[in-house]
Structure 1
Amino acid sequence: MTGDDSSSTSSSGASGPRTATLRDRLPDTRRGAETLLDRVVRENRFTIAVLFPAVGALTLVGSAEGWLPEPLAFNPWFVLFGVVVMRSPLVVGVLPLLDRRAVGWIGLLIAYTYLIELVGVRTGWPYGTFEYTVSLGPMLGGVPLALPVFFIPLVMNAYLLCLLLLGSRAATWWIRLLAVIAAVVTMDVVLDPGAVALGFWTFGGGAFYGVPISNYAGWVLSATVAVVALDRAFDTAALRDRLAGCEFMLDDMVSFVILWGAINLWFGNVVPAVVALSFGVGLVRADRFDARLFTPWR
């Protein structure tokens, strides 16, 4: 009887510390959670920023070329999962700067994203007449519900890259605006031809690898709206400080270069592939696309 009680007490005592230790590992403050997420992303940079886009390019090309069977070909949940993982460095990088004001302005930017896409699908303005030809998950009014996952990071990455490369000149509003507009439009020079080649969506033809020139005029409008919203959402100096200390904050741009550069190269879209490479050069200059990122054991 005594032995049983002792065993029971010993077992209970052993499980208690283990439970407490596990609980102690979980952060109980926002700062603790941010620190944990920073570490997780930092320790998995190669997987997130290199391996995921490489596998993504292979599976998307395989889907377009008919190499993958159903339900693997263009599986929307697989695509969305990969996109969310590749976005994680950006989200984690921005997280410490999120407050009520930032959430409010980003919410307005998300609302604009849905509105302008809905208008575009129904009227052809401002991007040109287009339609989605591959499922990107649940749709509402012909617009993917996950659209902000694709749109917001694109303009945010362009905004951050310009802050990083412009340095002190980024403090001047009109310089920042023009630089971000140019970056967003140039990113779409890479994105849209690749997406059209894959069959994600179609414009029914266009002068630039199946994309009409009007599409890029539409992106000038959207980039301008994005700069206005992001300027009000975040303190520019705080963003630059976070960029300086967070080496992985632009890893989503690295994923962009690898994913869409490879896709455009496969389909023979020479100009978009070269433009993707130029973004890689910019990231190298900014010390964000270097050998350390391609060393998974570090």
Structure 2
Amino acid sequence: MANAVVSRARVESRLDHLVASNRFTIAVVFPAFGALLLLASAERLLPTPLNFNPFLVLLGTLVMRLPLVAGLAPLVNRRLATGLGLLTLYAYAIEYVGTTTGIPYGEFAYGVDLGPMLLGKVPLGLPVFFLPLVVNAYLLCLLLLRGRADSPFVRVPAVIAAVLLVDLVLDPGAVALGFWSYASGGAYYGVPVTNYGGWTLSATVAVITLDRAFDPTALRRRLAGCSFMLDDLVSFVLLWGSINAYFGQWIPVAIAALFGLGLYSTDRFDVPPPPWWPD
């Protein structure tokens, strides 16, 4: 048991060092190149094998998730692992229902290969795409709300609202790229209102589950001491903000900028450039 604890601590330390030593590459370079590759794919400027290549999409997403994974790693105990496991099952189940029945997000279909599909309906990598969005919103709200976040009656609704704002950025950009589309379209850049009803449901389930799964004292301590823990949200702002800007979708751009402002106000939009970066 003692050896296992030491081994885990060593792995966590090495992961911290890896992320801290490559913050700029992970949080800035990857989303910048990711946006270029996705836009080039949408415009069919790349060779066919590279257009929306699912391996590249998943690899880029996993790299940008590294700061969050490293930040959460020391916090993972049986309770948090159970909570994340239940949310993974929920994500698969609700997406399967959604793609099969159109409930609760509205009738939609994937237009891009996102890798292996579970039961032919749901991308196997779905939790990698969805769960970090909720966790990032949770962490940012803790920083922004400060002492007011002690009350669950403030914390939980604020995080749910933040998750909905995340989707107000993500969904229009994804629809514009052709990742997925809604059968009846929608007033908000091709996204129907029903989608946000579904996101309200999923955000509520996810936020309440995480709220019960986290050790609040340990989470706040780790968040205060881990400077890169929200770098994944920095990547989100850069990636999806630039994609929406390319398509002239300015409301999502403005919302992405609000997230950037929130990160800046909490000293989390401070990714240092590497030594080789020009002054």
TM-score normalised by structure 1 residue count? 0.89
Query: Structure 2: which amino acid aligns with 1:154?
Result: L
Offset from partner CA, 1:188-218 (integer Å, 9 cap, x none): 0000000000000001310100000111111
Offset from partner CA, 1:5-29 (integer Å, 9 cap, x none): xxxxxxxxxxxxxxxxxxxxxx962
> Which residue is 2:135 aligned to?
156
Offset from partner CA, 1:146-179 (integer Å, 9 cap, x none): 1000011011111111111111111111211110
Contact 1:50 1:294 (C-alpha < 8 Å) held by counterparts: no
CA distance in 2, matches of 1:227, 1:187: 14
CA distance in 1, matches of 2:217, 2:94: 30
CA distance in 2, matches of 1:28, 1:236: 24
3-state SS of 1:202 partner: strand
Query: Does residue 270 of structure 1 match 2:270?
Result: no
Q: How does 1:200-215 map to 2 (within 5 A)?
A: 200-204=179-183, 205-215=185-195
TM-score normalised by structure 2 residue count? 0.95
Structure 1's unaligned 5+ residue stretches are 1-26
> Which residue is 1:138 aligned to?
116
Partner of residue 222 from structure 1, selected from 194, 202, 209: 202
Partner of residue 115 from structure 1, selected from 93, 100, 104: 93
Partner of residue 231 from structure 2, selected from 235, 248, 251: 251
Offset from partner CA, 1:69-106 (integer Å, 9 cap, x none): 11011000000000000000000100000011111111
Q: Which runs of 4+ in 1 moved over 3 A?
A: none
CA distance in 2, matches of 1:174, 1:121: 33
Query: Structure 1: which amino acid aligns with 2:235?
Result: S
Shift of 1:237: 2.0
Query: Structure 1: which amino acid aligns with 2:138?
Result: Y
Contact 1:163 1:176 (C-alpha < 8 Å) held by counterparts: yes
> Which residue is 1:43 aligned to?
21
Query: Structure 2: which amino acid aligns with 1:185?
Result: L
Shift of 1:294: 4.5
CA distance in 1, matches of 2:275, 2:195: 42
Query: Does residue 170 of structure 1 match 2:139?
Result: no
Partner of residue 215 from structure 2, selected from 235, 238, 263: 235
Structure 2's unaligned 5+ residue stretches are none
CA distance in 2, matches of 1:294, 1:106: 31
The percentage of aligned residue pairs carrying the same residue is 62
Number of residues of Structure 1 aligned to a counterpart in Structure 2? 270
3-state SS of 1:58 partner: helix
Q: Which has the larger radius of gyration?
A: 1
CA distance in 2, matches of 1:126, 1:227: 18
